[in-house]
Structures are given as structure tokens and as C-alpha cells.
Amino acid sequence: MEVPFKLEKRLLQYIAVASGSLAVICCGLHFGWTSPYLLVLLNEDSPIPMTVDESSWLGIIYLVGGLCGSLFFSVIGHLIGRKSILLWLSVPLLASWVLIALATTLLELLIARFIAGLCEGLTVSLLPIYYSEISDTEIRGLMGSTMTINFYLGITVLNILGSYLTIKVCSFVCASVPIILFISFVWMPESPIYLMMKGEREKAKRNFIALKGATEVDHNFDVIERSIEKENGNDMRFISLFRRTNRRSLLILVGLRFTQTFSGISAFTIYAQSIFKEGHSTISPLLGTAIFHTVQIIFSMLSSLFVDKLGRRPLLIASTIGAIVTLLAEGSFFFVRDIIKVETSHISLLPVVILIMFTCSYSLGLQTIPSFVAAEIFPANLKTYASTVSSVFFYSFGAIVSKYFQYTKDRFGLYFPFWSFAICCAFGLVAIIILVPETKNKTLQEIQAERKSKVLLLSKNEGNSQCN
């Protein structure tokens, strides 16, 4: 559907991002669902009786669905427009909430959770690309960061709703979000870059003007068009990700996702209320979880405001260092309490404070930046595959971390997973310092030109070394 009116410069960009963010909020609602409702389902008066092991699959099946959704995006990402995919995702998102509301068996819940995860896999693979392609250089980082903010906004809202509403009532309330998504996003423009890749130049130009204004056409449209034409002449197969020119970018992508997920954040989110309950804090699990996610949102917003000013690298490095320190501290508290058997009742609030400090550090960089890096450092014709790989690793690592957390805390104690995650973040910090480039205030075309020049320089130096 064509945009029926012209808007001031960047206003339509903000509206499109806000509308698309409803899909992310819906995914956050689904992701946070386990935190309040696992406790309900494990109670004696559970509406759907299940064991602890069976209940853990409600979190894991969601991540498996996300993995499948990411893989599916690699198939349809080149065939169907960014807008069309996101628009019609509202249908299965709606269906998943209705199925959860009406579920009477564990199998029905698992199916609903899988569908929801599938939708999230498609959403988190697609939206960073769409946002980067419709946004101006000066606000690209801000736009990309809004994904994480809205994701955790959804998680926070669900934890609050889940503490007061039944599963059925909460699900029908949440079902309104995909309905609003469809009604609002149907008016949004398709990505001009996608349209140029498909050869629809005139439509791409109209959307470009609607998004960025007529003055930008003379300066940027022809440059982008030539870049797309050149990339369309190159190999567009998945295997191209592993070519020499793209290996470093692929390594950056995987390294960031490893550091992000092996900080333990997916486990902390899924088991948030359970962690606060086992911590024996004077704060209730609900209040602790609400504070946990509120801090995530606040510091993610701060990150989104600074990411285009301070840059990606400084925020990532500071965020990872903070995560390492707080994870070590949290693990040490539980080691002293559970293994050395030191009385800690007089400082029972300490693990909550440390976990909140971890959240502050994590949210400043690790939470937001890895989500949109693939859309920045890969050429347009490989973004679909790169985004798929990014999401595949995110969900694979997330599923491993969630199961690992549950297994190690039950077998060894809470100290063990926290220390393990700190070690993983230390490896990630080294990778970030060595590999991650700075992309602030650079156009997508400038980033690609810089990337290619580095590869050529490296090849030339290696050639000279062989000759010598």
C-alpha cells in the first residue's frame, strides 16, 4: 500500500519504527510469559499440572521456535518484502495468544510457545534490516536500539500483568497488540533498498522521498542505487558469508552474540522470579523482577541515546567489563552463602543489588548493539543471511544457556552458573577489543567501502610476506 501523504523529514522514519516496535513488544510479552506463569503452573492448583522438567520446556521450545523462524527468514527474506513479512506476522502472533488462552494441556501450550518463538525469530531477523534501511545515518543506532527497549518493555508489562491476571485473561489482553500492529503497519512504506534490489526503481524513489525528503534524493539516492547494482552483480548465496571478504564480519557477529547470550541474560529473564525467590531477599519476586526489567529499559534507553554519539565500541567494552565484575560478585555471594555456609541474612538484599548492577552494565551495550550490527557490517545482498546467522546463534546460545543455568544451579548451586558466565564474558571482551569496528556516523556504503579496503590491505600484506 502506498503512503497516502508526505511527512516532514524523519517523521515517517520514527512512525515506521514505532509501528514495527509493536511486533517486538508482542515478542517481549511472549518471552516474559514464563517468569510469572511457571510458578502458577507448578503450584498444586495448577490449571495444567506439570513437573519442573516439563515446565522448563516451555522456555526452551520458545527459543527453538525462534531458531526455526530465523532459518525460515533466510528462505523468504529475499523473496518477500520487509514490510509484507512483518505485516502478516501479526496473524500467527494473534493465533499464539488465543491458543495459550484456550490451552488445557501441556502440548497445546508447547505448540503456542513454538509459534510465538517462530514469529520472534522472523521479527528479530527482519526488523534490524528494515530499520537500518529506512533510517538516516545520524539516528541509525538509535533506531536499532529501540528493538531491545521495546522487547524488555513487553517483558516488564507481562510480569506485571501475570502477577494479577489469570493465564486466560492475560492472553486475551496481549492479543490486542498484534491486532494494533496490523492496523498501523499496513500504512508504512516498504524499504527503498529492498525495492531497488528488486528493480522497482520508481517505487523505491517515492518511498525514499517519503522517508527522507526530496532534498536527499539528489545527494544519496543515486549513490545507493549504484551500490545496489554493484552488489546485485555479486554472488548472493549463503556460502558467500564464508568468503574471505566476509569472514571477519561473520566472526564479529558470532562473537557479539556469544558474549551477549553467555552473559546469562536469557536464563535470568526466563527464571527471573525464581532467581529472586531462591535469593531469599526481603524483596518479593514480583518487585525484584519489576525492578530488574525497569532498569533494563532505562539503561537501554540511555544506550540508544549515546550509541550514535559515543560509538559502538566504547559502549560494548564498558558494558562487558561491568558484566564480568558483577557476575563474579554475584557468584561469590552465593558461593559464600551456600558452600562456605556463612550467615548472610543481614545482607540478603545484596544479591538483588548486584543483579541490578549487572543489568545496568549489560544494558549499556551488550543488550542493544549486537541486535543491529549485522544490518550495518554486511552488504545489502547478504543482510538476510547474516541476520539469519545472527538470530540462529542468539537462539541456539540462549537455549543452551537456559538449560545450562537450570542444570548447574540445581546440581552445584547458584554460584556456578554466575562464575561460568563471567568467564564467557571475559573471552567476549577480548574478541570485542580485537575485532569490532566503529560504525557511528558512517553510511552503510561507507562501512562497506572501509571493510573492503581492510580486506584488500590484509591480502596485499600477506602477499608481500609470502614473496619475502
Retrieve residue 14's grid coordinates. 520514527
CATH of residue 260? 1.20.1250.20
Is 194 a domain residue? no
Higher pLDDT, 113 or 293: 113
Q: Has residue 30 got a pLDDT over 80? A: yes
Q: Has residue 461 got a pLDDT over 80? A: no
pLDDT digits (tens, 9 = 90+) for 432-449: 999 888 877 777 667 777
Average pLDDT over residues 268-273: 67
Average pLDDT over residues 321-326: 95
* Sign of the alpha-carbon dihedral angle for 366, 311, 74, 245: negative
* Distance (Å) of CA 123 to CA 101, 108, 132, 386, 456: 22, 23, 14, 14, 35
Q: Has residue 74 got a pLDDT over 90? A: no
pLDDT digits (tens, 9 = 90+) for 79-90: 888 899 999 999
pLDDT at 2: 43
The structure's pTM equals: 0.75
Contacts of 86 (CB under 8 A, 6+ apart): 20, 23, 123, 126, 127, 130, 185
Average pLDDT over residues 198-212: 83
Lowest mean pLDDT of 64-68, 142-146, 354-358, 373-377, name the range: 373-377
Residue 425's pLDDT band, with cuts at 50, 70 and 90, is: very high
Is 434 a domain residue? yes
Nearest-angstrom CA–CA distance, 134 and 13: 6
pLDDT at 272: 63
Average pLDDT over residues 402-414: 85
Residue 1's pLDDT band, with cuts at 50, 70 and 90, is: very low
Mean pLDDT of the chain: 82
pLDDT at 195: 87
pLDDT digits (tens, 9 = 90+) for 135-176: 887 787 788 778 888 988 898 899 889 888 999 999 999 999
pLDDT at 7: 44
Is 116 a domain residue? yes
Q: What is the DSSP string of 374-441?
A: HHHHS-GGGHHHHHHHHHHHHHHHHHHHHHHHHHHHHHT-THHHHHHHHHHHHHHHHHHHHHPPP-TT
Q: What is the DSSP string of 163-209?
A: TTS-HHHHHHHHTHHHHHHHHHHTTSPPPHHHHHHTT-HHHHHHHHH
Q: Has residue 268 got a pLDDT over 80? A: no
Average pLDDT over residues 51-78: 83
SS3 sequence of 445-463: HHHHHHHHHHHHHHHHHHH
Count of domains observed in the chain: 1
E-strand ranges in 19-128 read none
pLDDT at 407: 86
pLDDT > 90: what percent of the chain?
Answer: 27
For the purposes of burial, counting CB atoms within 10 Å of the CB of 70, is it exposed (0-12), middle (13-18) or buried (19 or more)?
buried
pLDDT digits (tens, 9 = 90+) for 296-307: 888 888 888 888
Contacts of 76 (CB under 8 A, 6+ apart): 85
Q: Has residue 191 got a pLDDT over 90? A: no
Q: Has residue 5 got a pLDDT over 70? A: no
Is 209 a domain residue? no
Provide long-range contacts, Cβ within 8 A and 24+ apart, for 330-336. 330/354, 330/355, 330/358, 330/418, 331/414, 331/415, 331/416, 331/417, 331/418, 331/419, 331/422, 332/415, 333/415, 334/413, 334/414, 334/415, 334/418, 335/413, 335/415, 335/419
Asked whether 297 and 152 are in contact (CB, 8 A), the reply is yes
Question: What single letter denotes the amino acid at residue 441?
Answer: N
Lowest mean pLDDT of 108-112, 199-203, 412-416, 441-445, name the range: 441-445
pLDDT at 185: 94
Q: How many CA atoms lie less than 13 Å away from 219 in the CB half-sphere?
A: 8
pLDDT at 66: 87
* Phi-psi category of residue 237: left, alpha or beta, with phi > 0 → left and psi -120 to 50 → alpha: beta
Is 105 a domain residue? yes
Higher pLDDT, 251 or 273: 251
Is 5 a domain residue? no
pLDDT digits (tens, 9 = 90+) for 327-346: 999 899 889 888 888 887 77
Is 215 a domain residue? no
pLDDT at 215: 63
Is 229 a domain residue? no
Residues of the domain holding 324 = 11-188+234-459
